[in-house]
Structure 1
Amino acid sequence: MTQQQTAALSGPRQAEAVSPENTPGFFARGVNFYKLFWIFLGVSFLGCLVETAFMLLTRGELQNRSGVIYGSFSLVWGLGAVLFTVCFHRLARRSSLLILLAGTALGAAYEYACSWLQEVLFGACFWDYSHLPFNINGRVNLVFSLFWGVAAVLWVKCAYPAACRWIGKIPNGAGRPLTMVLAALMAFDIGLTSAALGRMNQRQHDIPPAGPVAQFLDAHYPDRRLEAVFTNLTYIGTDEAREAAGVPRPNDLPGQ
């Protein structure tokens, strides 16, 4: 390469030229499964650490903010990063205000859906905003929705490019098999967690175990173990449990 060509590639162009995206056969080129999985894994882990540190600093409580039984991974954070990547990765050159507004709306809808699904599937409540102003059914509120918008701006402008560079450091030959192994382990962890929480919900409704799988879950993942793992979990799957927890029904919230 001539001196003139080297100078022409200075700054952003040079960074683009040496980007792993331009490597022939790079396993995580573009927005594909491999890149999305590593984004999910990394942000899930970092998000869990951030939430744990936040609760320790603001409330003096050491809580496990993980969303799975094994490991420290916040699925809400990880899936949120994947969602923002898929929807906003082409908006890096657009205005921050546009990304902020779009991220606020998408983040609020995403958080609402996560809260609703957790309650419907497992009778579980991991957060409740019914005591905060400008909330919708206690599942989302204005302030935290704006946080999603700010997170979208930071993700598109700063964090996503940094994540791509970090993923680019993974050896190309090992990228695909390593991704598949870790993805299988994570899928097992999520599946086991879902089954254990679902069985916990059944126990609260006095449903006896039906088959060896349910018996295994009762023996190895009883309520006391799940409560110890998910320290921020509140069970609201029955009227009695909801009343004891002080979590109102959506239609009982003020203004509904």
Structure 2
Amino acid sequence: MKTNHFKNLLIPLLVLNVLVFNACSDEELIVENNSVDDVTEMSRAAEMDAMDVALGDLVVNAFEEQERGVLGRSSYNNNLPECVVITAVVEQNSVEVNIDFGTEGCLVNGNLIRGQIEISYTRNPEAMQMLINYNLVDFYFNNKNVAATRTILRERFNENGNPQFTHSLDVTVTWPNGLQASRSGEKVREWIEGFGSGTFNDNVFLITGFWNASFVNGNEHNYEVIEALRREIGCLYFVSGAVEVTRTNFAGVLDYGDGDCDALATFTFNNGVEIPINLD
């Protein structure tokens, strides 16, 4: 399982932020005096989405690598750049993994990251569930300070018989200009096809969950998956599923379609107005 492919999971939703704002302006659904704040907050929420995906990938990748037979070594190799130093300490069944990006930072998948991620868990290969804890230390993502102590619940098999990762999303982010926002929520990744096949290209995942962003001015942006988002590794976009979006000044449903691999989606406002969305 190479979880770095998950970095594209939320990209279509991020692109939608600006497109939906423009469409809402055309329909006069957003109060003009709030337009600048809305654009700024949507941009900040999109940055938090990208950070969430990157953090989840880094932690799960480190866990998977550690569980692939490198247990007991002080360091191991993976697909991260050489400027990232990973060390592991194992005492009986207790495992601690440190991912150090240095004080100057490393460029990882186009993102400048500095600081450390401290990961810990109790190893039990026979357990049906394993809780992965991680803490951010002096952590910066593209020059934004990120403070979080989070968990990922790894299930060998869920009620459908599929592997599953449940991510907590609690975090506080501070931008260089002092703007601050917090996020909470949960995201679940269910591996429904391709597990154990020996090839990665046939993997399919279903994504569910809910999350929000809260700003110091009291504004909130909320997202809830109301129809599971289907991610096929061979396609850049979600091929189906729907997300309910609630913003300070508008709300509606983003629909990714019924199974075709394309860059097309629709957004339906609560007043019934529907607009096409091109996710390219």
| TM-score with structure 1 setting the length | 0.28
Which fold has the larger relative contact order, with Cα–Cα distance below 8 Å and residues 6 or more apart in sequence?
Answer: 1
Structure with bigger helix share is 1
Structure 1 or 2, whichever has the larger Rg, is: 1
